[in-house]
Amino acid sequence: MSDENKRPIDREKYRRTARNFTDKNQSAEDAENQFEFTRSREAQREFETDDTVSQNDSISNSDEEVSDNRNVSGSNNKRSGAGSGGGGFKSIILPIISGIVGALIVLGLYLLFTSGDDDGSEETGTDEETASEVDSSQDLSEVKQQLEEENTDKVITDTTAAVQKAKPAVVSVINMQRIQSIIPGMTEGSDEAEEAGSGSGVIYKTDGDISYVVTNHHVVDGAEEIKINLESGDSVDAELVGTDIWTDLAVLSIPSDVVETTIEFGESSNLLVGEPAIAIGSPLGEIFSGSVSQGIISGLDRSVPVDLDGNGSNDWEASVLQTDAAINPGNSGGALIDSNGRLIGINSMKVGIASVEGIGFAIPVDEVKEVTSQLEENGEVIRPFLGITLQDLLNVASSPVYDQLQLPEDVKGGVIVSGVQENSPAAAAGLQELDVITHLDGEPINNMVELRQHLYYAKESGEEMTIDFFRNGEQQSVTVTLE
């Protein structure tokens, strides 16, 4: 082909095409790596060490990669200059001279305008460092104003201010267990505890050299060691102060010298359906710590059946707030806050059915305040003690046991006494095995959940309680003094 027929190469178009092709490939590989990353820690490491970073990517995993990227960039610049048509020596030296002259001018102007202001510059730096610390005791307007001063080029919303106010008090909680504990039946394993699960927690109080963290009971259940990862990146060991299976709450303690702030309590009793709700926690583990999702309060005073012992029978009905803010595994124990950055609930669970979306639940903060206070003081929640084991009447309706009860036909609900503890209030009152309790203090009792709720919420230790029951088909009544 003759030189006249050769078409000049549009090098800028070539470089744009190459970059587009690289970026497309990179996005596809990143998407695949990210999907794998959410499934396992090995994939996480694979994602982090992926060497398909484009030349324009400023993130590198090692000094060697940084050096490689610079070499690639330098070689591209050389190729670009060589293909510019041969500008010669002038095309190289003139831009260099212009750059040096421009730099000298800028430096001179800087020295001219900043001379004599060194003291002011140091004071400004100190002010900025102080302003970056957000105190949870501040009003939202103060937090918002502080953020606006620090981010003059951004629009600061009330939601942004609320999140920044509460977020430093939300931590990751790591449940550490040894191999023998994680895998039942293992007789040999490492003596060093390993991560068996993780969740979230909220720093809510500091008292002297101790700070208190509230989380879910199921987050720390079975833990041999507990670690707390703070928003600052520091990791500290935590001590279990107390736990309560019925409300699914637990309190931990950590040294107060590592704590920057505590969260402000709100009130769940004054909430309205439709109010904004913001969830903060560590979904899918520590790598996503501090994640924020927003929604509304979808329902109040929801009763959710809970099977605590895994036998397929509901042992309790949790009274919870419903929200459509995204709640994922790892969010458990994290904060649900209102539009002012105040704690209104501890995220606890969600409906995990494939056809259900946006139904999560949080323990109301009014109950959290009451339970954490008792856990701090006693290590447990003190509840009235009756001294019986129970079984729902409906569970034996089709078994031979039901015929032994000899109940009237109009008795459809109740609780069967399957055992009585010695020296208990129930034993002192004369309750026996196979008695069927139908009323407490005149209120109908249809199942174990209703009996426990009446006992735990309506009564206190030392009070008397009237029990109506059937024995051998005859209705009887006794009064017990609860312990």
Q: Measured between alpha carbons, how far apart are the two ends of the chain, in Å?
A: 104
Cα dihedral 447, 448, 450, 455 in deg (nearest 10):
140
Q: Which DSSP string corresponds to 415-466?
A: EEEEEE-TTSHHHHHT--TT-EEEEETTEE--SHHHHHHIIIII--TT-EEE
The closest alpha carbon to 471, from 435, 433, 427, 439, belongs to 435
Contact 438, 411 (CB under 8 A): yes
H/E segment holding residue 208: none
Residue 430 amino acid letter: G
What's the count of helices (H) and strands (E) in the chain, helices before strands? Answer: 13, 18
Identify which has the larger pLDDT, 142 or 340.
340
The pLDDT > 90 percentage for the chain reads 40
pLDDT for the residue 43: 32
Task: Give the range among 94-103, 321-330, 457-466 with minimum mean pLDDT.
Answer: 94-103
Contact 242, 235 (CB under 8 A): no
Q: Which DSSP string corresponds to 98-137?
A: HHHHHHHHHHHHHHHHHTT-HHHHHHHHHHHHHHT---TT
> Residue 407: CA atoms inside 13 Å, Cβ hemisphere, count?
24
The closest alpha carbon to 266, from 162, 176, 348, 338, belongs to 338
- What sign has the CA pseudo-torsion 69, 72, 74, 76? negative
Pairwise CA distance, residues 419 & 109, whole Å: 90
Pairwise CA distance, residues 330 & 267, whole Å: 24
Q: Is 56 a residue whose pLDDT tops 50?
A: no
141-150 pLDDT per residue, tens: 777 777 877 7
Query: What positions carry a catalytic annotation?
Result: 218, 248, 332
pLDDT for the residue 60: 37
Q: Is 107 a residue whose pLDDT tops 70?
A: no
pLDDT for the residue 351: 78
Exposure string of 330-357, with b = 16+ CB inside 10 Å and e = fewer, is: bbbbbbbbbbbbbbbbbbbbbeeeeeee
Q: Is 240 a residue whose pLDDT tops 90?
A: yes
β-pairing, 276-281 with 210-215?
unpaired
Pairwise CA distance, residues 455 & 438, whole Å: 14
pLDDT for the residue 69: 38
Pairwise CA distance, residues 373 & 244, whole Å: 12
CA distances from 270 to 77, 172, 273, 280, 297 (A): 64, 29, 10, 21, 12
CA distances from 163 to 156, 311, 362 (A): 11, 40, 18
What tokens were used for 128?
């900025």
428-476 pLDDT per residue, tens: 999 999 999 999 999 999 998 889 889 988 998 899 999 999 999 999 9
Contact 385, 482 (CB under 8 A): yes
Q: Is 41 a residue whose pLDDT tops 60?
A: no
pLDDT for the residue 68: 39
β-pairing, 194-207 with 235-244?
unpaired
Residue 353 amino acid letter: I
395-414 pLDDT per residue, tens: 888 888 888 888 998 888 99
Domains and CATH numbers, the chain: 3-84 (no CATH), 165-258 (2.40.10.10), 276-378 (2.40.10.10), 388-481 (2.30.42.10)
Range among 4-18, 65-79, 407-421 rated most confident: 407-421
121-143 pLDDT per residue, tens: 333 333 333 334 555 557 777 77
Range among 32-41, 173-182, 378-387 rated most confident: 378-387
Q: Is 202 a residue whose pLDDT tops 50?
A: yes
Range among 47-56, 98-107, 173-182 rated most confident: 173-182
pLDDT for the residue 192: 82
Range among 56-70, 94-108, 234-248 rated most confident: 234-248
Q: Is 99 a residue whose pLDDT tops 80?
A: no
pLDDT for the residue 103: 66
pLDDT for the residue 188: 60
268-286 pLDDT per residue, tens: 989 999 999 999 998 877 7
pLDDT for the residue 10: 45
pLDDT for the residue 464: 94
What tokens were used for 221?
């259940």
Q: Which DSSP string corresponds to 226-257?
A: EEEE-TTS-EEEEEEEEEETTTTEEEEEEEGG
Give the number of other CB atoms < 10 A from CB of residue 360: 26
Q: Mean pLDDT score of the chain, rounded to an integer?
A: 75
